[in-house]
Structures are given as C-alpha cells and as structure tokens.
Structure 1
C-alpha cells in the first residue's frame, strides 16, 4: 500500500469548536471478545471505527476463522473482505488469519482461538512478527493449548491446533511486560471448564487496563476476586446485556496536547465522563499542569486554556503508556525539561517508541536521554525550523502525538497519514474542522 504524506499548518492559535470522537478502541475490542465468548448474549453498542477494531470484528464474525473448512485470510485488516490467499503459511488442515498491525487482536486471539474447534495459523504484519508473544503463548500452553511457532521462537506467526483440553486452572504470568497478555487470559477465564486463577508476578504495568477488563466482564455478569497479586474467575455463564463503548480518551489526549500548545482554547468533546474505565482519562490531571481545565457538563468535557507556569518535573507513565509520546512532545515543544518513568513497554509497541521519539525530537534540537529506566528531556538546544518532516514508523501514535507541533512549527510534514486509521480514522478531518490546514504532500 502506497504511503501518503500530509502537510499540516495552523494559521491561528485559537482552538475552538466541537469534536466528536470515535468509540474507545480499548473498550470496544474487549467488548467484541466478550460478545464472541458469550455466544451472542452480550451486545456491543457504539462500535469504534478504528482499523484495529474493524479487523477484530471481521475475524470474529468470519466463521472461516473459527471452524469452517475454507482457508481464509484477513488481508491488511482494514475494510477488506476475507479472501483465500496463498500466504506461504497455509496447510491442508489450517486456516490462516492475518491481522495486519492489530496488536490487541494478536494477543486476544492467541488466547481465544485455542478454545475454538479449528486449527488456525495466526499471523500479522512484518512489525507484528517482530513483537514478542512468547509469555502469553507459554501461559496458554499451560492451560492446555497446543501452539507451535511457524518461524521464530517466541514470535508470530503461530499455529494453534484444535482439541483444547484444560490441564491447569492456576497459572503465573509476568505483570511488567504487557497488560494485554493478562487481559487475554481474563477474557477467556469464565469459559474454561475449571475457571482460572491468575497469579501476577512482579509489578503490574498498565493496571487501569486490567481493571477495565474486569469491570466490563462484571457488566456482562462475570464475577471475580482480586486479592493481592491473584485474580480468580470461576467457570460461569455470561448474562444477557449490552456494553456501551464510550468515546476514546486516548484520542482525546491529542486534543489536550493541541490545547496546551494553543494561545487560547475552548473545545467541547461530547460523550466523555469523569468516571471512565479508561486509564488514559488521567490526561485531564496531566494536562492540568499545562493550564488545561476540564469541565464536565452537557454530556461531555469542555477544555479551556489558562496560561500558567509549569512546575511538575516528573511524569510516571507506567499506568498510561499510550499517553507518553503525547506528553513528551508537548513538554519538548514548550521547552519544559521534564523527567519520565514507566516507559519500559514502549520499546515493544508498533515501533520502538523510545527510539522513535529520540530520533524525531532531535529534529527540533531536543534530546530524550535514557539512564536505566529514567528518561530526561534536554531542551537546551531546542530550535523551531520553518519546515520539519516527521517519520511515523508505521505507528499511529507517532503521527498524532507529533501533529500538535503544527501549532509551533510553520509547516509540518507527517509521513504516512493513513497510519491513523489504526485508532482514529477521522483525525485529519477533525483537525481541519477546527482550523488546521491538512493537504497531501506533493
């Protein structure tokens, strides 16, 4: 697929208007898995149009993915029909599911597909095949799944065999690698004949995402206990209910960043509440340090800007790593030499986000230095060029985290504008609706 760059400029410094955000990708992906596991008892409302969610929904709705004799491949994962394709991975007894760059789908399906009566090869994009999956595969194997690696040990593609029989009801898993591994196991726990007790080893990264999973399961009738580092879910039936997906707080974070780099801001984001299950709603507290006030009323949140000194020097992103790029870029743009912790998981995301940040921030003279697990911004040589080209590394959050720089850089060129489809397809159109100019690069 050809990459299309975009030129971004911002004629004014005032942010004013209303932006309707898509449904939360994190919530919606969990809701779709719950719907599939409940065999239709649970309905999902306000489904996100994020490409990752489109991919997962398509896989779960394709009978060929979980039991039909035809070979099916989900190609690229974005608004494509399932087709038969010679992927080089297929075997006579295996369906091949290609989820493209959808990391959440890879993790969730790794736990879900062994429970289906089918032999399936699960693969993804080139980058997806570089992202580790071994910790989750080991856990699912202990439960009774037969899974083998097609190419490299510990990485997709994986071949998942039919004939799952539960062999254990208590397993341990590291908590500091990916909360999605833990969520994948919790989602299937109630459907296991013996249920599941999950012992989390070490510190739990992105705890709010695990809490979101358990809260949504509870809405669907699945009870749990969580004592210390042990979560237990007994075998039980789902209740008939509907899960409503609220707007995406991760998407909202980019508007907070734009507000922080604006002279004035009066922006309304409908549908967001102060009682969200999404951990990224903490952006309201983080951006308060930059003069952004969040007022919840009229069924949403109003953002306003007040010019104030920035005093906070240390930001711990352990529980909200998807906000890290956004906050770091804002600090860099403002010349605020902050320190960041909790960035360990960024290196195994869509790209090595730490290295990507270091590379792109250098284009405005800002250094992000790493010492152990502490990262510091050095803005002593910061400068604002007339033109800056931002590489996105096939990472949607790189594109959207750096887009607010158009507020301070006269002309910003963003590589591969379509990459935002992964989580926020309307991003560029929404920018244009509040006065940004976004045009294709020639």
Structure 2
C-alpha cells in the first residue's frame, strides 16, 4: 500500500480490540544485545516494524558467524556496505556495534538519513579508540568504520540534550569494552526513560551498571543466558488514545500492555487522562474509555517522551485546546523536521503552532474543520499516524504515502478498518 489512502469514519464512535506489534524501541535494543552476547541472549516477540526487521537482517549474519563462541570465528576483511534505509535507531546502534566487529563497513542509509547528524556519537567512539571516517559530509552518514576497536580510555562525555540513542548506542557496547565505560552526560538528559529502558534490558541480560549523578558506569563483564521478551509498543498505542480522545464515545481494548512498562511512552495514559480517557489494566491488556471531562491542562512537557509530541499536539489542535508544549528539542532531527511538518499540516485546518525559543504554543483562533484535507507525511511514519485520527472529524482525510507506517506499525491501516474506519483509494 505505497499509494495515498482516503480515510473516513462513519459515526464518531470507536470500539474494538487491537493487537499491537512489539515495541520497536525495545526490540532494537534486544537485537543488539542478542548479537553482542554471541547467542546467549534470545529475543522473544520480535517486532514486525520495518526498522526492527532491517536491524534483524543486518545482525543475523553476525549471529551465524559468532555461534556460541565468545568471539567471531570468521574474520572478514572485505569492505562491506550496509544500507539501513530510513532506520535511524539502526544507524546509531550499528555505528557503535561495528566498532567492535572484526571487519570494515560503510554504514549508509536513505537521503534523509544522510541529513541526520551522527557526529556527537562518532566523536565519543573516536575518543574511545574507534576508527571512523566520513564518506561524504562531515558529521553525517555515510561513515566508514574500521572494526576491532583498541580502547584508549574508559571515560567519555556526551551531550544529553541531543538524542538518547547516542547514549544508548554507547551503553549497549560498554560491557564488551576491555576497560568498560564511564559515560559522563553533559547537561540535561533528553528522553531519560529510553536510557532507563536500555539499562533495564542490559540488567535482564546480566549486565550491571552504576548511575551516580551524571555518570553511568558499566564494567567489562559477560552476558548471561536469558530470554528478552519484547512487550507491545506504547508509541503505537498512543494513536488509539488519540482516537479515543477525538471520538464522542470510545471503548478500545489494547492487548498485551501492562501498567509496569520499560517504555517511557506509557506516560500517554497520564497525558490522555487530561482529555477524559481512562485506562483500566485488566485481562492482559488495557481498556480505554472516553468520559466527558473539561480539558484544563495548558502546559505539556514532552522532554521525556518526544515521540508522543505529534500525537498530543494534533489532539489539542483538533479539540481547539490552546496548549503550550516544551521538550521538543529533538523533533527537528527526526525522520523529518517534525516541528515544520506539524506547522505545515495544522495550517490546513487554520491552526498555528508558534515557536518561541524552545516553547511552542497552539493558536486555534482560526481553526476550522474542512470537508476534505490532504496530509503530507514527509517520509515520517508518525505524521501519518498522528493525523489519521482526524478522520473522526473530517469527512474525507487523504493521507500521502500510506506505506510509511511500516517503519513502526505495519498493521495500522488494517487495525483501523477493524474498528470501523474506511480505508480506500482516493
């Protein structure tokens, strides 16, 4: 389904059961841990998100080479090109991963990936002793990585406000470094729950850590034999909370989700409570219900959950709720410049997202509901899914490049059909 789709929703109710795919964030971490453990760790419930599928394919060769031995038995000196397409997490994690492998690779990706910065991570890895060169533009993929890192130091610093994926990439390889790693985080830490997720999953795989102040320390140590189960994706769940918030009546059951999650995006339950959505955990999932409630919360700090930003901002815009948002610093270096993309698309319904330094405010004074609206997705899966719930309000909602959702939630359109949305060719 690579073409555009026309989305509509007869009636303004949403009822049904949804089975979500495994978390892309958890799965990508688990896959790297599995590869680094040389088979000791086994991933369960691998996500069918395109990013996870891509990473799994890249790493599967290494698993076959490594077998159950501590070190790979095949030393491949041939220069290999690894193209991970638009998979940003894979780019960051593999940049660190390949510094430990006995081979040279060119790591590249899509045109947009070549515009997404990697310099902060490369600088930290170089300080550790990695040999990494830029193939085209300084600070951006593609990069040439020479493996067999010879560690020069066990202490590096990295900015905490740019991307938690840089920090996670370093933490994932820390235990395999001969001297271990003391990682100093400079300044505020963006998306802290994602770093906590990484450390919790490493702990499940036998890797201990110490976190004092702004320093995370992981000694050289071995992985243990274990299984890493991947839970359903709370980021994917957020779109169903959005649907419930925009419906007149809603009762949606999302299977597999628990109240105690490693995923920071599980905070969507608290955020959407402001819009009258109750979350009841029972029967192996969570039941969402819509209750009439005036919206009073005016300030949303999304620093710890930036992947929820589009979802929450679109809901506020659709309801005419002139809220203010902070913690959006990382949005401009995602799959697209998400701030600009939101501004462009919200303008089509008369809503302005006004930027003032690092604070963003919705102006809904000119808001209107068009009979038909075209949503450009900018090669960004979250743009498609964040705007899709508007079909509850807009009779005909055309969404560009429907296939873009495969990056994190391939069954999204099918699941919408199961709860009464119409998905057609425009």
TM-score, reference length from structure 1 = 0.93
Equivalent residue, structure 1, for 2:345: 360
Q: Is the 8 A contact 1:170 1:199 kept in 2?
A: yes
Unaligned runs of 5+ in 1: 71-91
- Report the Cα offset of residue 93 of structure 1: 4.0
8 Å Cα contact 2:207-2:223 kept in structure 1? yes
**What are the superposed Cα offsets for residues 296-334 of structure 1, whole Å, 9 maximum, x if unpaired?**
011110000001100000000000000000000000000
Residue pairs, 1:311-326, within 5 angstroms: 311-326=296-311
The unaligned stretches of length 5 or more in structure 2 are 66-71
Partner residue in 1 for 2:47 = 48
Q: Report what 1:97 is aligned to.
A: 82
Counterpart CA distance in 1 for 2:63 and 2:167 is 27
Which of 176, 190, 194 is the matching residue for 1:191? 176
Contact 1:59 1:65 (8 Å CA) reproduced: no
User: What does residue 250 of structure 1 align with?
Assistant: 235
* Partner Cα separation in structure 2 for residue 390 and residue 62 of structure 1: 39
- 1:343 paired residue number: 328
Change (3 A) 1:65 1:158: farther
Match of 1:440 in 2: 425
Alignment of 1:22-421 (within 5 A): 22-63=21-62, 93-421=78-406
RMSD: 1.4
d(CA) in 1 for partners of 2:357, 2:397: 32
Tell me the residue number matched to 2:68.
none
Give per-residue Cα distances to partners, 1:201-222, cap 9 Å, x unaligned: 0000000000000000000100
Aligned length: 419
The C-alpha deviation readout for 1:393-430, integer Å capped at 9, x for no partner, is 00000000000000100100000000000000000000
- CA–CA distance in structure 2, aligned partners of residues 163 and 338 of structure 1: 50
Residue equivalent to 1:85: none
Q: Which residue pairs with 1:78 in the alignment?
A: none
Please give the TM-score of this superposition, normalised by the length of structure 2.
0.97
Query: Structure 1 residue 3: deviation in Å?
Result: 4.3
1:162: Cα distance to partner? 2.9
Q: Which ranges of 4 or more aligned residues in structure 1 deviate by more than 3 Å?
A: 63-70
CA distance in 1, matches of 2:173, 2:361: 40
SS in 2 for 1:296: strand
**Cα displacement (A) at 1:439:** 1.0
From 424, 429, 441, give the equivalent of 2:409: 424
Shift of the alpha carbon at 1:64?
A: 11
Q: Which residue of 2 aligns with 1:86?
A: none
Write the distance in 1 (CA, Å) between the matches of 2:78 and 2:323: 54
The question of whether the paired residues in 1 share the 8 Å contact of 2:135 and 2:141 is answered with: yes
Return the alpha-carbon distance in structure 1 between the equivalents of residues 28 and 34 of structure 2.
10
Provide the C-alpha distance between the structure 2 equivalents of 1:3 and 1:23, rounded to a whole number of angstroms: 23
SS of 2:310's equivalent?
A: helix
Contact 2:38 2:63 in 1 (8 A): no
Contact 1:205 1:319 in 2 (8 A): yes
Would the aligned equivalents of 1:7 and 1:413 in 2 still touch at CA under 8 Å? yes
CA distance in 1, matches of 2:11, 2:245: 14
For 1:89, the equivalent position in structure 2 comes to none
Provide the rounded CA distance (Å) in 2 between the counterparts of 1:217 and 1:69. Answer: 27
- Residues 254, 287 of structure 2: 8 Å contact kept: yes
Secondary structure of the 1:19 match is strand
After TM superposition, give the deviation of residue 440 of structure 1 in Å: 2.1
SS of residue paired to 2:251? strand
For residues 371 and 426 of structure 1, what CA distance do their matches in structure 2 show?
A: 37
Cα distance in 2 for residues equivalent to 1:210 and 1:46: 21
Please state whether the residue corresponding to 2:368 is helix, strand or coil: coil
Match of 2:13 in 1: 14
CA contact (8 A) 2:35 2:63 kept: no
Kindly state the Cα deviation for residue 273 of structure 1 after the two structures are TM-superposed: 0.5
C-alpha distance after superposition, 1:334-375 (max 9, x if no partner): 000000000010000000000000000000000000001000
CA contact (8 A) 1:65 1:97 kept: no
